[in-house]
Amino acid sequence: MKTTIKTLAILFTFSLLISCDDDDTTQIINEEELITTVELTFTSTTDANNVVVYKSVDTDGDGPDAPVITVIGNLMTASSYMGSVQFLNESVSPAENITTEVQEEADEHEVFYLSSITDVSITKDDVDVNGNALGLMSTLQTGAASTGTLTIVLRHEPLKPNDGSLSNAGGETDVQVVFDLTVQ
């Protein structure tokens, strides 16, 4: 009987040791997310009813189909707008909010805004944990009436800090969308 109890005790202790083994070989793999939807919203700082939404939906990602681009609302001349951008993967249900991941990994991401209109400026209003620009929140300032394009680019692992230009940021483009931009 004593032998059986000792054997069971040894087996129990051995199983505890095995189950508490620390597995240091596990690696966290951060796969690139599919971004099917980019939605950029600008709200006037003087008229909360003046909201402009730029949306690009590309259901096949990098596939052959062109994205569906919609613009709702109008940017007014000589106006200031608070902006926010959202990145989604709508190929799954429910849609996956990639913006949350960008926020969590802010030191590894940056949003760039490029306007072909010289009288439109966009300033990034948020920063990562190191105080470097992120760009999920922004301020857009318009000048005179004009038309052109607004390009938005989400970069993964850009050089930080950088000079604010996409050409010197490095990193990899997660998504890039070009919207028609009209100031009236």
Residue 14 located in a structural domain: no
> Range of 45's domain?
34-183
Q: Report which of 59, 58, 61 is spatially closest to residue 69, judged by C-alpha positions.
A: 58
- The pLDDT value recorded for residue 17 is 43
Alpha carbons 33 and 101: distance in angstroms, whole number: 9
Q: Alpha-carbon distance 175 to 128, whole Å?
A: 19
Answer whether residue 114 is part of any domain. yes
pLDDT digit of tens for each residue in the chain (184 aa)?
A: 555 444 444 444 444 444 444 444 333 334 567 999 999 999 999 999 999 999 999 988 778 899 999 999 999 999 999 999 999 999 999 999 999 999 999 999 999 999 999 999 999 999 999 999 999 999 999 999 999 999 999 999 999 999 989 999 999 999 999 999 999 9
Question: Which helix (DSSP H) or strand (DSSP E) does residue 98 occupy?
Answer: helix 98-104
Structural domain count, the chain: 1
Angle among Cα 169, 174, 177 to the nearest 5 degrees reads 95
Q: What does each C-alpha distance from 177 to 15, 98, 149 come to in angstroms?
A: 55, 16, 10
| 7 assigned to some structural domain | no
Q: What CA–CA distance (Å, rounded) separates 113 from 116?
A: 10
Residues, the chain, total?
184
**Distance from C-alpha of 93 to C-alpha of 90, rounded to nearest angstrom:** 7
CATH code of the domain containing 169: 2.60.40
Residue 125 lies inside a defined structural domain of this protein: yes
Please tell me the predicted confidence (pLDDT) of residue 175.
96
183 close to 142: Cβ distance less than 8 angstroms: yes
Domain membership flag for residue 89:
yes
Let me know if residue 11 belongs to a domain. no
pTM of the model: 0.81
Tokens of 144: 């005179």
